[in-house]
Structure formats: structure tokens, C-alpha cells
Amino acid sequence: MSNIQTLIVTELNDELQKEQGNKKYRYKVNTSLSYGFMKDRILSLFLVKGDMNEIIMELKTLFKEHLVPIRLGRTNKREIGKYRNRLKPIVTKNQKNNL
């Protein structure tokens, strides 16, 4: 499923790069939403007896409706040791210690 999604998204991203004219940001397909759309339609994609190009075109239109801008220079500070100081819960044993 991931391979098919990647093929469709890369093809759409190439088309979007050609179509985008005088816009502030460049746009790309939202990958998390595209996985969800693929998940809903994967069975109909493989089990359809007719033309599967209709389903692929439907997926492409859904992917094009949900684009994400590529904002350059965005940095968020990551707190690496944020959860390091949290103590793990103590799990009680149901057996006696062997001494």
C-alpha cells in the first residue's frame, strides 16, 4: 500500500511543481491524509473488475484537495530529555522473593 501511495504522491508532486506559478509557498501532498484515503480505497483498487484508473483519478483529486505548504526556515526546539526524569511505575509482584 505504501508503494502505491508513494508512486501516486510523487507523480502529483511533480505535477504540482509544474503548475505552481506565482504563489508564496510551494505545496506538497499531505502524506498522513493520503495514507488514510488509500486505506479506505485499497480493496476497491485491487478487487475492481473494471478500470482501476477511475479509482486512481479519484485518489489524485482527493490528494490535490489536501495540500500542505512547504515553509522554509521553520525550526522548532526539540526537548530531548523531556521525559527522562519521569519515573517508571512500580509493578508489584505476585510472588515472594527467593532468598
The answer to whether residue 82 sits within a structural domain is no
What is the residue range of 40's domain?
2-70
Number of structural domains found in the chain = 1
Distance CA 62, CA 86 (A): 42
Query: What pLDDT, on a 0 to 100 scale, did the predictor assign at position 88?
Result: 65
The answer to whether residue 9 sits within a structural domain is yes
The answer to whether residue 58 sits within a structural domain is yes
pLDDT along the chain (99 residues), means of 10: 83 84 85 84 79 84 88 80 68 66
Model confidence, pTM:
0.64
- Identify the residue whose cell numbers are 506559478: 21
Contact 38, 1 (CB under 8 A): yes
The answer to whether residue 98 sits within a structural domain is no
Query: What pLDDT, on a 0 to 100 scale, did the predictor assign at position 22?
Result: 82
The answer to whether residue 84 sits within a structural domain is no
